[in-house]
Structure 1
Amino acid sequence: NRPGVVGPDVQEISDPNVVYAGCRVKASVTAFGFNNVSKGVAFALNNVQFLRDGERLDGGMAASEEFDSEMSNEPASLSDVEKGLL
């Protein structure tokens, strides 16, 4: 099962883009040990509470932040590419 995600107000969040690498969360986890081929401890993520935005750690940027609105139907020209505009 996927972990449940709620906001600071404990209301369910269904948008998968709200939680990202770098945002601040509280997490409920279950720890379990194993002793098969190797020994170790692993954690299962149960649920997450989104607390606030933070600096992105994945180096990525939301598409809406990276691009300006382009309402033109004209194709990009090769000269724009050569000038580094695209």
Structure 2
Amino acid sequence: MSIAVQPAHQKSGYGTALLKWIVEFFRKSGASQLEVGTGTFGYQLAFYQRHGFRVTSIDHDFFVNNYPEPIFEDGIQLFDMLRLALKYPSKVA
């Protein structure tokens, strides 16, 4: 699924609150990790990294192959998607 915060409401804490809720929900559900995909540059990448996500792979030409129109971020066309994961600590018995 795709999630986003309206540009007028970005940098107001809504995205952080949403992500923290998602992280905690799946932690309580017993997930071992949470995975996201984003562009190879921009504030979204830094956002996920600030919350503990680490790059695991690159999906080359993802945005070219999966969207009918080119996608631009700050005037630069997105081509590749970075896959990131947040691994939950394993439970100790």
Determine if the TM-score, normalized by the shorter chain, exceeds 0.5: no
Q: What TM-score does the superposition give when structure 1 sets the normalisation length?
A: 0.22
The structure in which a higher percent of residues are helix is 2
Q: What TM-score does the superposition give when structure 2 sets the normalisation length?
A: 0.21
The structure in which a higher percent of residues are strand is 1
| Bigger-Rg structure (1/2) | 1
